[in-house]
Amino acid sequence: MRFHPAVPALVLLGAAFLSCRKVPLTPSSPIPAGSVVFRFTRDVRGPLELNLDGARIPVQQTPKGGNTLVVKGLSVGKHRFFLTSQRETFSPDSGELDMPADRGHYLVTLTQKLDAVLYGKPDPLPPAEGLPGVSAALVK
């Protein structure tokens, strides 16, 4: 009995797909208006930096990290964001959100561990100035 050459490739692809952790593509509860939830595909240890409309937003985070970034207090309209970290890379790491008045946004963000070799200590960043009424927290 002879198999088609694509059968072993499909078997390997199926095994890789089944071994991956599942991330919910939709939120378990509705996202309130003025909020954005970034759901990461793996735990983020941080430190996580969030730029929103050109201003750095302080992110509350624990030393263990988390898999969800919750941003609250956004006004109605368009907002540009940029995510960065010293230990992880994100996709999408930047984009534009059109915040409606009646609901929030839920974004699944691909996260990959970044092992960079740094010699010495990086310079500490100045404190984030933030935007009035906007808060961000990295939660489990």
Residue 69 pLDDT > 60: yes
The band of 15, judged by pLDDT with boundaries at 50, 70 and 90, is very low
The band of 9, judged by pLDDT with boundaries at 50, 70 and 90, is low
Instruction: Specify if 124 maps to a domain.
Output: yes
Instruction: Specify if 102 maps to a domain.
Output: yes
Number of domains in the chain: 1
Q: What does the pLDDT average to over 10-39?
A: 74
The enclosing domain of 57 has a CATH number of 2.60.40
The band of 18, judged by pLDDT with boundaries at 50, 70 and 90, is very low
* Phi, psi angles (nearest 5°) of residue 34: 85, 10
Instruction: Specify if 21 maps to a domain.
Output: no
CB 60 within 8 A of CB 133: no
Print the domain residue range for 132.
Answer: 26-139
- Give per-residue pLDDT as tens, 44-64: 987 889 999 999 999 998 888
Instruction: Specify if 63 maps to a domain.
Output: yes
Instruction: Specify if 9 maps to a domain.
Output: no
